[in-house]
Amino acid sequence: MNAPVRTLASPYARKLARERGIALARVTGSGPNGRIVAEDLMAAPEAAPTAPIPAPAMAAAPAPAVVAARPISAFAATLDLTPLSAFIAASGSELSIDAFLVKAAARAAGAEAEAIRWIKPEGGAVTIARPLALAPTEIARQIGGDAETASPGGKVMVVSRLAAKGVRPVAGSLPAGIDLRVLVVASDGSETAEALVVHDADAITETEAGEILTGFRDLLEAPLRLLV
Partner 1 sequence: MSAQVMNPAIRAPEIHNPVFRSAAGRTLPAGLSAAALLELYERMVLLRRFESVAQTACRKGETPGFLHLYIGEEATAVGVCAHLRPTDWITSTHRGHGHALAKGMDPDILMAELFGKRDGCCGGRGGTMHLYDRKTGLFGTNGIVAAGISHAVGAGMSARAQGKDGVGVAFFGDGATNHGGFHESLNFAGIQKAPAVLVCENNLYATATPLASATLNPEIATRAAAYGIPGVAVDGNDVIAVWQVMAEATARARSGQGPTLIEAKTYRTVGHHEGDPVTGTYRTQAEVDEWAKRDPIQMLRTRLLEDFGAASADELGAIDAKIDGIVAQSLEFARNSPEPDPATTALHVYAEPINPADALVQAAPTATVTQGWLDAVRDGIAEEMRRNPHLLYFGEGTGERGGTFAHTKNLWTEFGPNRMVDTPISEQGFTGAAIGASATGSRTIADLMFADFVFEAAGQIVLQAAKLRYMSNGQMNAPMVVRVGSGAVRSAGPHHSGTYHPSWANIPGLIVCMPATPADAKGLMKTALRAGDPVIMLEPKALFASKGEVPTGEHLVPFGLARIAREGGDITIVSAGQLVHRALEAAEKLAAEGISAEVIDLRTIMPLDVGTVAKSVAKTHRLLVVDEGWGAFGVGAEVAQAMNELAFDDLDAPVGRLHTDAQPHPLAPALERAMLVDAVKIVAAAKGVLGGQPPVPKHWRYLGRQAAPAPVAAPAATTMPAPVAPAPAAPAAAGDGEPITMPFGDLTISEGTIVGWLKKEGDAVKAGEIVAEIETDKAVVEIEAPVDGILGPIEQPKGTVVPMGGRIGSVRT
Backbone φ/ψ region at 216: left (φ over 0), alpha (ψ -120 to 50), beta: alpha
**Which is nearer to partner 1, 30 or 151 (by Cβ)?**
30
- Cβ 39 to partner 1, closest distance in Å? 8
| Burial bucket for residue 180 (CB in 10 Å: 0-12, 13-18, 19+) | buried
Closest to 64 in 3D by CA, of 52, 53, 72? 72
- Cβ 123 to partner 1, closest distance in Å? 29
- Cβ 189 to partner 1, closest distance in Å? 19
Q: Does residue 228 belong to the site contacting partner 1 (CB under 8 A)? A: yes
CA 161 to chain centre: 15
Closest to 144 in 3D by CA, of 106, 203, 95? 95
Q: Does residue 61 belong to the site contacting partner 1 (CB under 8 A)? A: no
Closest to 155 in 3D by CA, of 126, 130, 138? 130
Which of the ranges 60-68, 127-135, 160-168, 186-194 carries the binding residues for partner 1, by CB under 8 A? 127-135
Beta-strand (E) ranges in the chain? Answer: 58-60, 72-80, 115-119, 125-129, 156-162, 180-185, 192-200
Q: Does residue 10 belong to the site contacting partner 1 (CB under 8 A)? A: yes
**Which is nearer to partner 1, 73 or 142 (by Cβ)?**
142
CA 31 to chain centre: 35
Q: Does residue 23 belong to the site contacting partner 1 (CB under 8 A)? A: no
**Which residue in the set 25, 133, 147, 176 belongs to the binding site for partner 1 (CB under 8 A)?**
133
- Cβ 56 to partner 1, closest distance in Å? 12
Q: Does residue 134 belong to the site contacting partner 1 (CB under 8 A)? A: yes
Tell me the CB-side half-sphere exposure of residue 85, using CA atoms within 13 A: 12
Residues 62-101 that bind partner 1 (CB under 8 A): 86-87, 90-93
Please report, as ranges, the residues that interact with partner 1 according to CB under 8 A.
10-15, 31-32, 35, 37-38, 86-87, 90-93, 133-138, 218, 222, 224-228
